[in-house]
């Protein structure tokens, strides 16, 4: 293998740049030519592909977002789009790809490999942490720390005004950000898509808590089956029938996806990037380079996509116990 390419795709996440830097420098160190594909699969289809040098990734290890840009490409979901992408890769002589993204990105890469045989090794780039085959995904730690900083600030107001705050964090299908920010932020409750939210039990506990506490924080993952934080707040408010309390909602939104990556994310991203290039050179295909128990693990895309990463049960119990 002489020429490889790297791209970022799906939602951007803090640490993607550190991963790109690691892929580029590892490839050069190993004697490979390396290309950047801009705007994810969209750039593969449009031929937005440029040679990268070591200097191309200078001064980015600390930066959020992604210098390669990201996109969600509808065209790559079609056979015609993937054909154009293949032709562009052939034009540049690219023999292997590092795809930094989430399960959607890996689904696309798997289909592409089955159709055209260009090997891809993935790196887990999403703040949601919902990828099987790695203990943590690139960007998760930063997102949790950003959410925590916000929760700490909201807590000041909640306490000063004796309010009940519903704080919505990201997580369309997964509650990892919600659970860790609820533990770190000292929340009374967490609501996540993985477990059934019992609003009657929440109302009962809120009434009980009133004996010992004057304010409460409830962290809601955006994908909870009872709705978003605004909807859940309305349901709880109508059940609790307490006009003496003020209920407030804060949606943290995209601030969780930006900012300078934490040390953990930079190290994870750099390790995954190096492992992905080494994997490609060693002949690995259709798999993701992740870190489990401190070791590099290559997990087939079919498992990354098909298997569900479970929340840590202890963590949910912890929120319950520590909220008394
Ligand atoms: N079934 C699929 N077939 C082909 N390409 C896909 C498929 N699913 C996802 N992709 C490609 O991967 C991109 C990223 O997926 P998306 O779900 O948006 O983000 P993530 O990779 O973070 O999960 C999509 O915009 C699309 O181009
Ligand atoms: O910015 P967008 O495209 O609306 O995406 C929002 C979504 O991106 C995420 O941050 C990460 O999603 P992906 O894993 O698909 O990248 C989700 O938590 C959130 O629902």
Which atom of ligand 1 is least distant from the CA of 71?
Answer: 25
Q: Which positions ≥6 away from 204 have C-beta within 8 Å?
A: none
Q: Helix, strand or coil for residue 125? A: strand
ipTM greater than cut 0.90? yes
- Return the closest-CA partner of residue 220 out of 205, 241, 234, 239: 234
Question: Whose atoms come closest to the Cα of 223: which ligand?
Answer: 2
Alpha-carbon distance of 68 to 57, in angstroms, equals: 10
Ligand 1 site, residue 11, Cβ cutoff 6 A: yes
- Alpha-carbon distance of 156 to 142, in angstroms, equals 22
Residue 111 near residue 270, CB atoms below 8 Å:
no
Please check if 22 is assigned to a binding site: yes
314 is annotated as an active-site residue: no
Smallest CA separation from ligand 2 atom 16, residue: 11
Number of Cβ within a 10 Å radius of residue 317: 10
Strand partners, 247: 164
∠ Cα 93 97 103 (to 5°): 150
Pocket flag, ligand 2, residue 215 (CB < 6 Å): no
> Model confidence over 23-56: pLDDT tens digits?
999 999 999 999 999 999 999 999 999 999 999 9
Out of 12, 33, 46, 128, pick the active-site residue. 128
Q: pLDDT > 90: what percent of the chain? A: 94
DSSP 42: H
User: Considering every ligand atom, which ligand is closest to the CA of 45?
Assistant: 1
Query: In angstroms, rounded to a whole number, what is the distance separating the alpha carbons of residues 99 and 119?
Result: 10
Q: How far apart are CA 247 and CA 249, in angstroms?
A: 7
| 279/98 Cα distance (integer angstroms) | 10
Question: Probe ligand 1: pick from 8, 10, 40, 112, max atoms within 8 Å of CB?
Answer: 10
* Residue 324 Cα to ligand 2 middle (Å): 33
- Rounded-to-integer distance, Cα 155 and Cα 248, Å: 12
pLDDT (tens digit per residue) in 275-322: 999 999 999 999 999 999 999 999 999 999 999 999 998 999 999 999
What burial class does residue 237 get, using C-beta atoms within 10 Å of its C-beta: 0-12 exposed, 13-18 middle, 19+ buried? middle
Q: Is the pTM of this model over 0.95?
A: yes
Q: Token pair for residue 66?
A: 């992604």
All domains of the chain, ordered by start, with CATH?
3-139+261-306 (3.40.50.450), 143-257 (3.40.50.460)
Q: Of all atoms in ligand 2, which is nearest to the CA of residue 172? A: 20
| H-type alpha helices, 10-102 | 16-29, 40-46, 79-92
Can you spell out the DSSP letters for 266-278? HHHHHHHHHHHHH
Residue with tokens 């992905």: 276
- pLDDT on residue 213: 86
Profile the chain (324 residues) by mean pLDDT over runs of 10 residues: 97 98 98 98 98 98 98 97 98 98 97 98 98 98 98 96 96 97 97 96 88 92 97 94 87 97 98 98 98 98 97 93 92
CA distances from 204 to 168, 232, 288 (A): 21, 15, 44
The verdict on whether residue 25 carries a ligand-binding annotation is yes
Question: Which ligand 1 atom lies nearest to the CA of residue 75?
Answer: 27
To test the pocket of ligand 1, the residue of 45, 76, 97, 139 to mutate (highest count of ligand atoms within 8 Å of its CB) is 76
């Amino acid at each position: 293998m002489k020429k490889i390419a790297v791209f970022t795709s799906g939602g951007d996440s803090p640490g993607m740049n550190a991963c790109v830097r690691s892929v580029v420098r590892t490839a050069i160190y190993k004697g490979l030519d390396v290309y950047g594909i801009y705007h994810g699969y969209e750039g593969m289809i449009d031929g937005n592909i440029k040679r990268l040098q070591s200097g191309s990734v200078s001064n980015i290890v600390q930066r959020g977002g992604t210098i390669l840009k990201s996109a969600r490409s509808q065209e790559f979901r079609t056979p015609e789009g993937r054909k154009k992408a293949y032709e562009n890769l052939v034009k540049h002589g690219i023999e292997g790809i590092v795809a930094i993204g989430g399960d959607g990105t890996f689904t696309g890469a798997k289909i592409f490999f089955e159709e055209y045989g260009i090997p891809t090794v993935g790196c887990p780039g999403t703040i949601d942490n919902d990828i099987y085959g790695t203990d943590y995904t690139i960007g998760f730690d930063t997102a949790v720390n950003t959410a925590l900083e916000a929760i700490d600030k909201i807590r000041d107001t909640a306490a000063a005004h004796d309010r009940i705050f519903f704080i919505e964090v990201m997580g369309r299908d997964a509650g990892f950000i919600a659970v860790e920010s609820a533990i770190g932020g000292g929340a009374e409750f967490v609501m996540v898509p993985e477990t059934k939210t019992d609003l009657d039990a929440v109302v009962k506990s809120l009434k009980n808590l009133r004996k010992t506490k004057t304010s409460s924080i409830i962290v809601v993952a955006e994908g909870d089956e009872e709705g978003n934080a605004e909807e859940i707040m309305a349901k709880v408010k109508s059940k609790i029938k307490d006009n003496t309390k003020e209920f407030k909602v804060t949606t943290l939104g995209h601030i969780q996806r930006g900012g300078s990556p934490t040390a953990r994310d930079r190290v994870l991203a750099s390790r995954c990037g190096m492992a992905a290039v080494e994997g490609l050179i060693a002949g690995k295909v259709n798999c993701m380079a992740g870190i489990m128990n401190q070791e590099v693990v290559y997990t087939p895309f079919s498992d990354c996509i098909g298997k569900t990463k479970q929340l840590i049960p202890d963590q949910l119990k912890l929120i319950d116990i520590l909220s008394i």
